Amino acid sequence: MMERLPAESAYRILESGPIVLVSTRGPDGRANLMTMGFHMMIQHDPPLVGAIVGPWDHSRRALSQTRECVLAVPTVDLAETVVDIGNCSGASLDKFERFGLTPMPAQTVDAPLVRECLANLECRVVDDGFVRRYDLWVLEVQRIWIDAAREERRLIHHQGDGRFSVDGETLDLGERMVKWRHLMD
Ligand SMILES: Cc1cc2nc3c(=O)[nH]c(=O)nc-3n(C[C@H](O)[C@H](O)[C@H](O)COP(=O)(O)O)c2cc1C
C-alpha cells in the first residue's frame, strides 16, 4: 500500500547529504557557526556547491559581506552540538566558545576551520545570482582538510524535525562504475 505524503516533505526523502556547519568571520573579526542541511554538489571541476543560507541566519550577513566561508563536516559525536548551534544566533553569542569548539586558521579564507570536525572545506562565493529568489549561494571549494587521525567518522543526515540517520556500512561498487573511471581516484 502506497501512502501519500505532503509534497513539502520532499526534503525528508531527498535529504541532500551530511549535515554541516557553516563557519564565517564577519568584517568585525567575529567568527560564527550555523547548521546547514540544505546543500548540494553542483559540479566536479571546479568544485561547486550550492548552499542555502537564509535571511533568518545571522551568518548570512558575514557571508554576503566577505563572500567566503568554511563548510565543516561533523561526525555523530557532535550531533547534539550541531542541533544546538542551529537553534541560537551568533548575533549575541560566541558559538565557538559556548560549544567548546576550536577555531583554527584556514589558508585561503578568513573564516576559521573547526578543529573538532572530520573535514573542513574552505569556500568562496562565486555566484549569488540565485540568492534573491532561493537564498542559494554557489560556493567554489578552494581547499579541503581531513582529520586523518580521527576514529569516529560516521556522518549524520538530517531527516527533518531534529531526527537524524547515522552513516553505517560502506558499499564499494567501484568496479561497476565503468562509465565514470576518469572521475575516480
Ligand atoms: C538541523 C538543522 C538544519 C538547518 N539547515 C539550515 C539550512 O540548510 N539553511 C539555513 O539557512 N538554515 C538552516 N538551519 C537554521 C540555522 O542553523 C539557524 O537559523 C541558526 O540559528 C543560524 O545561526 P546564526 O543566526 O548564528 O547564523 C538549520 C538548523 C538545524 C537545527
CATH number of the domain enclosing 64: 2.30.110.10
Residue 64 alpha carbon to ligand 1 centre in Å: 16
Nearest residue (CA) to ligand 1, atom 18: 86
Instruction: Quickly state the pLDDT bin for 107 (edges 50, 70, 90).
Output: very high
Please indicate, yes or no, if residue 94 is contained in any of the structural domains. yes
Index of the ligand 1 atom closest to the CA of residue 158 = 1
Please indicate, yes or no, if residue 1 is contained in any of the structural domains. no
Mean pLDDT, rounded, of the chain: 95
Q: Which residue has 557557526 as its cell numbers? A: 33
What's the pLDDT at 24?
A: 98
Residue 128 alpha carbon to ligand 1 centre in Å: 19
Residue 151 alpha carbon to ligand 1 centre in Å: 27
Please indicate, yes or no, if residue 9 is contained in any of the structural domains. no
Q: What is the mean pLDDT of residues 162-171?
A: 92
Instruction: Quickly state the pLDDT bin for 183 (edges 50, 70, 90).
Output: confident
Residue 92 in contact with ligand 1 by CB distance below 6 A: no
Please indicate, yes or no, if residue 6 is contained in any of the structural domains. no
What is the percentage of the chain residues whose pLDDT exceeds 90?
Answer: 88
Judging by beta carbons within 10 Å of its beta carbon (0-12, 13-18, 19+), is residue 48 exposed, middle or buried?
middle
What's the pLDDT at 117?
A: 98
Please indicate, yes or no, if residue 4 is contained in any of the structural domains. no
User: Is the pLDDT reported for residue 38 higher than 90?
Assistant: yes
Please indicate, yes or no, if residue 76 is contained in any of the structural domains. yes
Q: What is the mean pLDDT of residues 6-31?
A: 91
The answer to whether the beta carbons of residues 114 and 103 sit under 8 Å apart is yes
What's the pLDDT at 148?
A: 93
C-alpha cell at 55: 535571511
Determine which helix (DSSP H) or strand (DSSP E) holds 82, and give its type and residue range.
helix 79-85
φ, ψ dihedrals at 22, nearest 5°: -100, 120
Number of domains in the chain: 1
Structural domain including 179 reads 14-184
- SS3 per residue for 94-163: CHHHHCCCCEECCCCCCCCEECCCCEEEEEEEEEEEEHHHHCEEEEEEEEEEECCCCCCCCEEEEEECCE
Q: What is the mean pLDDT of residues 130-158?
A: 96
What's the pLDDT at 170?
A: 87
Please indicate, yes or no, if residue 135 is contained in any of the structural domains. yes
Please indicate, yes or no, if residue 22 is contained in any of the structural domains. yes
Q: What is the mean pLDDT of residues 50-64?
A: 98
Residue 32 in contact with ligand 1 by CB distance below 6 A: yes
Index of the ligand 1 atom closest to the CA of residue 90 = 26
Instruction: Quickly state the pLDDT bin for 114 (edges 50, 70, 90).
Output: very high
What's the pLDDT at 20?
A: 98
User: Is the pLDDT reported for residue 102 higher than 90?
Assistant: yes
User: Is the pLDDT reported for residue 166 higher than 80?
Assistant: yes
